Amino acid sequence: MSITTTASAKRWILGDKFEQRMPHHDGIKALWDTKWKFPCTKSVYPFHDGKFEDFEPVFEHLISNNINDGYGDAYTEAFFPMAESLTRQGDEAASANDLTRASELYLRAACLYRISRFPYITSFPEVSSATKWKAWQAQKDVYMKAASKWPAPVREVMIPHTSREGADRGTIPVYVRLPEKGAQDGGKFPVVLLITGLDGYRPDNTQRSDEFIARGWACVIAEIPGTADCPADPSDPNSPDRLWTSVLDWMGNQGTFDMKRVMVWGLSCGGYYAVRIAHTHKESLKGAVAQGAATHLFFGRDWMEKADGHEYPFSLWPAMAMKHGYATAEEFIAGAQKKFSLLETGIMEKPSTRLLLINGTEDGLMPVEDSMLLFEYGTPKEARFFSNALHMGYPMANSSVYPWMESVMAS
């Protein structure tokens, strides 16, 4: 998919790295050797539930067969045999009542399925890959084999989309997790609405939900428009507002959640929605964290023509186009800023709830300037930007996010 590019006169905080194309875009071997191999050995994002021994033979197969297209079925199918083997081993451990071992094996299988469905899936059928959709369904199935049996289990809940309009569908699938210990303040839990990103979905947040549970907070995990199971119309810039209205209305009707202590945390592409909901649903929220957020400049040609060669593991353009309901990348780059920018649409001008902006100064996916822009509009914001850090400010970001969330929840 080609893009007509123009020379950019704009200088970014990213500096000369803005013009650079990262080496992992040279093929699957380069991706493994320069970007994913080391995180896999340490079981850190996006491999936090996986093991190196699971992934190494899969990537050896991909490399030896010269399978370089992450959007293609051959890439996805390469992960299935190992994932299926781990699932069977998990079933055997569960049958032997070794639930700890079973959970580990199931999560390892789920992690394989997660990487296999990169870079993008959506339930809107006109742009779905049947093979990647199979991986997504398998990931959810094996993840819930583990997560539904934990002492503080994960439950899948189908929320009626009572505010739906137009092409929105009628059901919002979410994951809900409650702490083991008794609820606070009359039997209700403080709660975090965790908003996922372009490729990290509901089953990819075990560590974060563990952190919430340890603090006595419930969590509701939901996907963003145009990704995974989200029913919101990806081409309608107002569909997320309807989506969150339905989710918050449902939460308020459960009698489980302390609706005076509702916090949002949006991850990567979800950061855009965290910024948006902080303004559109200000009165319903205690606070919001927008991590790695796009707001305005991201959607412009100046930025997008180079972002395709930065941190994202594969080409970014096709996934972003499909996620926003465009047929081609060129259509997305030509039209998205006017339609989705929070500046162009006036969202930034509105008052917001307390809003923490987190990112790395060398984010090559969503420019840190998009977070800084928010300080020029609306109510005062808070921020922590990490020098020399990439997208989302990892690995340092959580050291600022959790203390801030604790302070806001306690206020």
Active-site residue list:
268, 363, 391
The amino acid present at 225, given as its one-letter code, is P
Contact (CB, 8 A) for 328 and 1: yes
H or E element in which residue 207 lies: helix 206-214
Q: What gap in Å lies between CA 270 and CA 225, rounded to an integer?
A: 9
* 393 dihedral zone (left: phi>0; alpha: psi -120 to 50; beta): left
Q: Can you say how many angstroms the Cα of residue 88 is from the centroid of all Cα atoms in its chain? A: 28
Cβ count within 10 A of residue 232: 29
H or E element in which residue 322 lies: helix 316-323
3-state secondary structure 332-392: HHHHHHHHHCCCCCCHHHCCCCCEEEEEECCCCCCCHHHHHHHHHCCCCCEEEEECCCCHH
Q: What gap in Å lies between CA 401 and CA 260, rounded to an integer?
A: 20
Cβ neighbours of residue 286 under 8 Å, at least 6 residues apart? 260, 261, 262, 263, 353, 354, 408, 409, 411
Cβ neighbours of residue 287 under 8 Å, at least 6 residues apart? 263, 264, 278, 353, 354, 355, 356, 405, 408
Cβ neighbours of residue 25 under 8 Å, at least 6 residues apart? 31, 309, 315
Q: Number of C-alpha atoms within 13 angstroms, CB side, residue 198?
A: 24
- On the 0-12 / 13-18 / 19+ scale of CB atoms within 10 A, 183 is middle
Single out the residue of 51, 149, 155, 133 nearest to residue 91, CA to CA: 149
Integer-rounded Cα radius of gyration of the chain: 20
Contact (CB, 8 A) for 243 and 214: no
The two tokens of residue 296 are 């305005």
The amino acid present at 169, given as its one-letter code, is R
3-state secondary structure of 211: helix
